Amino acid sequence: MVGIGLIGYGYWGPNLLRNFIETPSAKVIAVCDLNQDSLNVVQARYPSIKTTKNTQELFDDPAIDAVIIATPVSTHFKLAMQALEAGKHVFVEKPLTTTSAEGEELVDKAKQQGRTLMVDHTFLYTGAVQKIKEQIDSDKMGDIYYYDSVRVNLGLFQHDVNVIWDLAVHDLAIMDHLLPSHPLSVSATGMSHVAGQPENIAYLTLFFEKSLMAHIHVNWLAPVKIRRTLISGSRKMIVYDDLEPSEKVKIYDKGIELTDSKESIYKMLIGYRTGDLWVPQLDLTEALKTEARHFVECVEQSKTPISNGESGLRVVRILEAATQSMVEKGQPIEL
């Protein structure tokens, strides 16, 4: 049984709490938040869970083996470091830290302490991403040519970080998980449309070995919500639309076609697709449920999490470089 303490009961905290409560080998001991109203909600719903405004109580509590950190990103480093130093395992919201230097320290500290450090890259635990990984790993898709993602939101500004740190982090985590290699350089462009606010629209191109490339469009100021990823291989191509209720992952049979035939060209020009299309049934388990169980299992069995500290650190390095490239209007930055 893994004793759990949760820090932060804001937007995402309630989802984390609910899922860790329902994780068989976990027992949630305490919740910490600076807001008394939030703590009152916890007490009303779950009378047996302790509440506190003081994080130190969690670090000092021997019944707590692991700390879940769901606070603003600027506090991740300090809280995670304290938790690791207190000998706790750590599960931290994305992104891991605000700088790669901090991320490296956390990864090192976790190693020293022999504790699990895991980042909440929730998408990796969805049935959709699992199905795509299965396709790529089994080599059914052939060589991967590109990963292209559009992740845009309605016109909402609420953030202390720019849109890259808020939204592109998801795609970078998914790419880190799915793609056969890590990016070598990044070129990013973006803009702020509200005075005094961070960039609300950004475009990232990532270069890899060989002819693999990736591109991410993130945007807080769109008329419609879009979550669509195209992944193209030499033999198959995938469209992953996370907003599609019943057909999230579509797998297209045919890849590239080199032709000089006029009739083929005409058919391609008027056609809307080529080859058969397969839409697999996905595992509909809530991703956070799968992820909470995975974290507890890693803690109990000293296994390395899928979204471990190193992967979180790789993601932060790209976020840093992309932000720098964006300031320089697309100037490519080596990774």
Angle at 306 between CA 299 and CA 106, to 5 degrees: 65
Residue 252: CB minimum distance to a copy of itself, A: 4
By CB under 8 A, name the one of 34, 150, 179, 306 that touches a copy of itself: 150
The binder of a copy of itself chosen from 155, 160, 180, 181 (CB under 8 A) = 155
Distance CA(154)–CA(295), nearest Å, equals 32
Do the beta carbons of residue 215 and residue 146 sit within 8 Å? yes
* Distance between CA atoms of residues 222 and 218, nearest Å: 10
Question: Is 113 a binder of a copy of itself (CB under 8 A)?
Answer: no
Q: What SS3 state is found at 334? A: strand
User: Considering only 58-66, 241-249, 293-301, 307-315, which stretch makes contact with a copy of itself by CB under 8 A?
Assistant: 241-249
Contact 149, 240 (CB under 8 A): no
Contacting residue, 219, 307, 311, 323, with a copy of itself by CB under 8 A: 219
- Cα–Cα distance for residue pair 272/275, rounded to 1 Å: 10
Supply the minimum distance, in Å, between the C-beta of residue 309 and a copy of itself.
27
- From the centroid of its chain, how far is CA 216? 14
CA distance 132 to 140: 10
Asked if residue 213 binds a copy of itself (CB under 8 A), the reply is: yes
The candidate with the shortest Cα–Cα distance to 2, out of 300, 308, 291, is: 300
Between 20 and 77, CB nearer to a copy of itself: 20
Minimum Å distance from CB 182 to a copy of itself?
A: 17
Nearer to a copy of itself, 83 or 188 (CB): 188
Task: Enumerate residues 4-23 that contact a copy of itself by CB under 8 A.
Answer: 11
Q: Which residue has the tokens 């809280």?
A: 79
Residue with smaller CB distance to a copy of itself, 91 or 203: 203
Binding of residue 211 to a copy of itself (CB under 8 A): yes
Tell me if 114 contacts a copy of itself by CB under 8 A.
no
- State the amino acid at position 226 in one-letter form: I
Positions 305 through 334 that interact with a copy of itself (CB under 8 A)? 325, 328-332
DSSP label at residue 274: -
Give yes or no for a contact between 188 and 326, defined as CB atoms under 8 angstroms apart: yes
Reference 121, options 69, 77, 172; nearest CA is 172
Binding mask 253-292 for a copy of itself (x = CB under 8 A): xxxxxxxx---xxxxxx-xxxxxxxxxxx--x--------
Give least dist CB 19 to a copy of itself, A.
16
Looking at residues 185 to 204 of the shown chain, list those that interact with a copy of itself (rule: CB under 8 A).
185, 187, 189-194, 197, 201, 203
**End-to-end CA gap in the chain:** 40
Q: Binder to a copy of itself among 1, 63, 101, 154 (CB under 8 A)? A: 154
**Residues from 56 through 95 that contact a copy of itself (CB under 8 A):** none
Q: What is the CB-side half-sphere exposure of residue 232 using CA atoms within 13 A?
A: 12
Q: Answer yes or no whether residue 111 interacts with a copy of itself by CB under 8 A.
A: no
Q: CB atoms < 10 A from the CB of 139, how many?
A: 10
Q: Rule CB under 8 A: is residue 158 a binding residue for a copy of itself?
A: yes
Contacts of a copy of itself in 22-41 (CB under 8 A): none
- Which is nearer to a copy of itself, 63 or 154 (by Cβ)? 154
Which pair of structure tokens corresponds to residue 21? 């409560």
Residue (82 or 219) nearer to a copy of itself, CB: 219
Min dist. Cβ of residue 256 to a copy of itself (A): 4
Alpha-carbon separation of residue 157 from 10, 39, 93, 173, 319 (angstroms): 17, 26, 20, 23, 19
